[in-house]
Structure 1
Amino acid sequence: MFAFVWAQDAVVRLFTRSVHTHKVLLGPGIEPLRWTLGRWRAWRTFEFAARRVPAYRAFLGERGTPHKLRPKGDLSAAFAALPEMDKDSYIKRWPIPERSVGGRLPRRGVVVDESSGSSGTPTSWVRGPDERLATRQLLQVGFWRTARTLKKQPFVLNAFSLGAWATGMNVTTSLTEVTMIKSIGPDRNKIIQTMAEFGTDYTYIILSYPPFLKALFEDTRLDWEQYDIVAAFGGEGISENMRAHILRYAHSAFGSYGASDLEINIAIETDYTVELRKAIAASPKLAKRITKQAEYGVMPMVFQFNPFDYLIETNESGELVVTIVRKQNINPRIRYNIHDRGHVMRIRELTPILEEFGLHRLVRQQFLDLPLLFHYGRSDLSVDYNGAVVAPDALRDVIYGDPKLLQAVENHRLISFEDERGDRQLHIALQLTDAATAVPIDEAAYRTHIIAELRALNADFNNAILTAPDHTMPTVAFYPHRTGPFSGDGRKLKNEYVWQLEAADLAEWDVDLSHPAER
């Protein structure tokens, strides 16, 4: 079996050096083959890493897993029995060369980028020529799918953070050879200046994080109706109401899923997944049948991914465990826990359910028979309140679900702290935009609205409110732009949505605890 996998891998490498031949692997009708080969390749990559990567050999040894292990019975079950790794248990414990094939880094062809450090100190990641080629091909295929429908010449404005950070760097190097591109970074002034200078004869494909896109399109210095715009986002999810808001300025808006720890663009939104997500939002019964929305209190983002390149599992804690199955990666990640919540569903499992619900139009819309990835956000960026887990993504959905809040709130944050009695408290902080700071909204009414919506989304949070002692009721406050706990915003690459504080920190950050929720 594995001799065949090695052979087909060589053929794939030979015939996917161009984007056009790479698209063959994404064509319809070969889903079972992609699925099966992906699992064989994952096991082959495990064997390769166990033999050639010193850190992985040591990691397996600590957990009593033999370096030479032949799968018995079901391959998926055998692979799921391998130990998980994550940043703390693997990445931080061994230096980069020991995590590399052969115990050393190649002398040439290696690019180093880094993650943003949103959960701590930034981490460097090394990528060799083969994995960069694969990333480039996937981004170019995605770009080709968009560009072929455009009537005007595409002009990509890369507004992801530049420098050493993974996404901005890889987007620029991947798309330079196939389109006109300007790598600007998240700078509204320069984007507006560029669009004004080049005029309206292009389709501007603007790539960035959702909060930046929202702020950009609300800038009144351009007459946005005169421009042809495609929006593409990554880094975090959006609600459908937020997508509708962006679509007031752009004629399409799609996201992708990736991580610096792994690769950018692991999975993408398609027309099909967007329509499926709308169907889930419209039908609580469908949502209950195919998602874990009720359990997590968050509407999932829905993506499609190629199982030939990635094996994505869900562990007992509901977290995604990802294996990059290409053995060419110089720093292999085998069953890497990114600490995101999610699960996978194959199209052949979903289609009968959609037909049962009468969604035949949606079934006919299927083009890519790639499996679906349901993503609920970070599992380690939530807060605990009286036994309930509250996620910032749920607060995001509440804010974006109301048009006035969507316009008025620039950022949000869940602040968890322990008071002087030792009780765990929850503070919901919302930063107003400049405009909303000047013309205030009805804050009292929206405090009640936000708590009510969070309770409706999350049954555990509702029960926590009902059973919490009076002095531990969550507090909600609106802050003028860049004040209070938001006074330092803009210093970091990405927004911070969760804070774990000590009671002494509250005075420093001028946190307003004077508005407790009602039962």
Structure 2
Amino acid sequence: MGKWYYQWIPTSIFDFFHNHSPSSKMMLSFLKITDPELLETMSENKVLKLYQNVRTNIPAYKKFLKKCKVDKADEIKDIIDFNAILPVVDKHNYVMQYPLIERTFNHRLPKHGLIVESSGSTTKDPTNWFRTYEEEQAVARDVAFESRYLFGDKEYIIISCWSLGAWTTSLSFCSYFEQLGVVKNIGPDIEQVIKTLKFMGPKYNYIIAGYPPFVKHLIDTNALPWKKYNINFVVGGEGFIPGWRKYMLSKVKKGAKIISAYGASDLETGMAVETPLCQCIRDLFATYPKKVQKAFGIEELPSFFQYNPLRFYINNLPETKEFHTTVMTHGTPSVMVKYNVKDFGAKLSYNEMISIMNASFSGFEKRHRTELKSSLKLPFLWVAGRSDDVISLDGSKMYPQQIEMALLKDKRIYKSIQSFQTTKSYHNNGSDHFLVKIQLQEGVKPSKQLAKKIKNALQTNLSRISKAYKLGLHDLPSCYEPHVELYEFHNGPFDVEKIKNKYVVE
């Protein structure tokens, strides 16, 4: 708990400071020295105040509380009540149940400065989301601050490779980054990206942004002398394994950075960012993977991010290992209280994370005081993919990241692969087996020999990565033995180019 007097500090002071800070240097200095519990207390106070406004003025939320038979909605006095009494909302029980106009304050949408975006759903049809100009400006301030903290004050040419059109990431990214330099919105077009880089030449500083599979495909073309270009990368939309970063950095100029960002179209595309401290934490757990289970209660290595608690209140749903989020950005037209985006993960306070690291790694405390002393005192969010992005083999969970890690351990095989899908295939007798469908890189032809190599790599390396898989393969090989199907580039189940890769299919 924060110091008792933190409760009496008006949140408006911090909002004003956040919105009108004359320089990112002042904000940076503040976030390096502040008590992280102060920021968390402000976040709690702010979400309680916002809840009262939503409960009173958003018709859909009133109906939702009544439907859920929440009799004590007007008795929420503190953050304990907020987390314990109020039901969690999600896309199915709230967004799809009530018309948009009912989910806005007093049945009103702004007449000016309203942006309509679409989310590229990995499940069903895309959903429309509404942002205000005021909201976008608040996000842009955070993105500008984070970018200068991570990349410095250099001028950049920013190449956006997110899918073009009304998709949330494409529209938002360009507006957020335009104040950092020249932005070219190309979309996921490798040929145009290469033409742009050739035309501009290697004398400029670049940031290339896109989904991890696209960025890998771009670099794997070897169409340019990548080590001559000053390129940093911003990736998002899905996670990646630590070995992926190492693989990518080996192919580009020394000193390049790859920064992962976390967001959700339902909430905000710029929710959290991977800081140097986050990368350090993930690298340590990647080196000692057995410590992940003890620290977080999961087998899969998650990604780590830090977020601004003045714009987001996040808390955990321990029963499902998910988390709920309330966006508190000023100008948000349709606030959703305790929204579950259905991602597998959890929030940790800054102090909680540092305590875990000190207990898990003997040398971390010294490292934190020295090379990581400039860390931002912001809370953490760990994410391990969508909670439904997993298959069960005889009760054992198999995650897409584990499959990619197994493939990456053989560099020659990994270079030939563009993407993959995994599922369970059923025999006539009702039993199932583990099926992995592989999309090969452009120009690579399927062969029985390559399929056998991939199968052996999966079987051998998954046994090293997952103890549960190793035991299952020994006890029930018919279920756990991988069956590999190879497809040429953009053929078979990969013939339709999607906004995001779908790794687990029915």
Whether 2:483 is the aligned partner of 1:476: answer yes
Counterpart of 1:62 in structure 2 is: 67
Q: Distance in 1 between matches of 2:433 and 2:132?
A: 46
CA contact (8 A) 1:275 1:362 kept: no
CA contact (8 A) 1:45 1:327 kept: no
Counterpart of 1:449 in structure 2 is: 457
Q: Distance in 1 between matches of 2:465 and 2:125?
A: 33
Whether 2:132 is the aligned partner of 1:124: answer no
Cα pair distance change 1:195/1:7, threshold 3 Å: closer
CA contact (8 A) 1:387 1:464 kept: no
CA contact (8 A) 1:355 1:363 kept: no
Q: Distance in 2 between matches of 1:203 and 1:10?
A: 33
Q: Distance in 2 between matches of 1:21 and 1:163?
A: 37
CA contact (8 A) 1:115 1:165 kept: yes
Q: Where in structure 2 are the equivalents of 1:322-341 lying within 5 Å? A: 322-326=325-329, 328-341=331-344
SS in 1 for 2:397: strand
Q: Distance in 2 between matches of 1:84 and 1:9?
A: 27
Counterpart of 2:114 in structure 1 is: 110
Whether 2:172 is the aligned partner of 1:170: answer yes
Could you tell me how far 1:18 is from its partner in structure 2? 7.2
Cα pair distance change 1:13/1:217, threshold 3 Å: closer
The amino acid across from 2:56 in the alignment is: R
Counterpart of 1:274 in structure 2 is: 279
Counterpart of 1:503 in structure 2 is: none
The amino acid across from 2:180 in the alignment is: V
The amino acid across from 1:172 in the alignment is: C
Whether 2:399 is the aligned partner of 1:391: answer yes
- Cα distance per residue 1:88-147 (max 9 Å; x no partner): 111111111111111221211110101012211000000123321221111111222244
Counterpart of 1:495 in structure 2 is: 501
Sequence identity, in percent? 24
CA contact (8 A) 2:446 2:486 kept: no
After TM superposition, the score normalised by the length of structure 2 is 0.89
Could you tell me how far 1:325 is from its partner in structure 2? 2.6
CA contact (8 A) 1:60 1:67 kept: no
CA contact (8 A) 2:55 2:62 kept: yes
CA contact (8 A) 1:135 1:264 kept: no
Structure 2 residue corresponding to 1:402, chosen from 410, 425, 438: 410
SS in 1 for 2:88: coil
Q: Distance in 1 between matches of 2:325 and 2:185?
A: 30
Whether 2:327 is the aligned partner of 1:321: answer no
Q: Distance in 1 between matches of 2:170 and 2:184?
A: 11
Higher mean displacement: 341-350 or 13-22: 13-22
CA contact (8 A) 1:19 1:137 kept: no
Q: Distance in 2 between matches of 1:3 and 1:133?
A: 28
After TM superposition, the score normalised by the length of structure 1 is 0.87
SS in 1 for 2:376: coil
Structure 2 residue corresponding to 1:100, chosen from 101, 104, 107: 104
Counterpart of 1:220 in structure 2 is: 222
CA contact (8 A) 1:280 1:287 kept: yes
Counterpart of 2:347 in structure 1 is: 344
Could you tell me how far 1:218 is from its partner in structure 2? 1.5
Q: RMSD over aligned Cα, in angstroms?
A: 2.7
The amino acid across from 2:403 in the alignment is: L
| Number of equivalenced pairs | 492
CA contact (8 A) 1:427 1:475 kept: yes
Higher mean displacement: 414-423 or 80-89: 414-423
Q: Distance in 2 between matches of 1:469 and 1:453?
A: 15
Cα pair distance change 1:123/1:25, threshold 3 Å: farther
SS in 2 for 1:415: strand
Cα pair distance change 1:63/1:386, threshold 3 Å: same
Q: Distance in 2 between matches of 1:47 and 1:201?
A: 54
Q: Distance in 2 between matches of 1:263 and 1:320?
A: 15
Q: Distance in 1 between matches of 2:501 and 2:356?
A: 37
Q: Distance in 2 between matches of 1:140 and 1:318?
A: 31
Q: Mark the runs of 5 or more structure 1 residues left unpaired by the alignment.
A: 501-519
Counterpart of 1:88 in structure 2 is: 92
The amino acid across from 2:325 in the alignment is: V
Cα pair distance change 1:313/1:293, threshold 3 Å: same
Higher mean displacement: 342-351 or 41-50: 342-351
Q: Where in structure 2 are the equivalents of 1:128-139 lying within 5 Å? A: 128-139=132-143
Q: Distance in 1 between matches of 2:207 and 2:86?
A: 41
Q: Distance in 2 between matches of 1:103 and 1:56?
A: 12
The amino acid across from 2:402 in the alignment is: A
Cα pair distance change 1:63/1:4, threshold 3 Å: farther
The amino acid across from 1:446 in the alignment is: I
- Cα distance per residue 1:2-30 (max 9 Å; x no partner): 99646446634762587666656644323
Cα pair distance change 1:392/1:183, threshold 3 Å: same
The amino acid across from 1:432 in the alignment is: L
Q: Distance in 2 between matches of 1:338 and 1:321?
A: 7
Could you tell me how far 1:60 is from its partner in structure 2? 0.9
Counterpart of 1:516 in structure 2 is: none
The amino acid across from 2:499 in the alignment is: L
Q: Distance in 2 between matches of 1:346 and 1:465?
A: 39
Counterpart of 2:36 in structure 1 is: 31
- Cα distance per residue 1:264-296 (max 9 Å; x no partner): 1211111111111111111245433323342xx
CA contact (8 A) 2:454 2:484 kept: no
The amino acid across from 1:481 in the alignment is: E
CA contact (8 A) 2:410 2:457 kept: no
Q: Where in structure 2 are the equivalents of 1:129-278 lying within 5 Å? A: 129-148=133-152, 150=154, 153-248=155-250, 249-250=252-253, 251-278=256-283
The amino acid across from 2:33 in the alignment is: P
Q: Distance in 2 between matches of 1:429 and 1:105?
A: 45
- Cα distance per residue 1:319-355 (max 9 Å; x no partner): 1211113363111121111111111222322334434
Q: Distance in 1 between matches of 2:445 and 2:366?
A: 45
Cα pair distance change 1:55/1:17, threshold 3 Å: farther
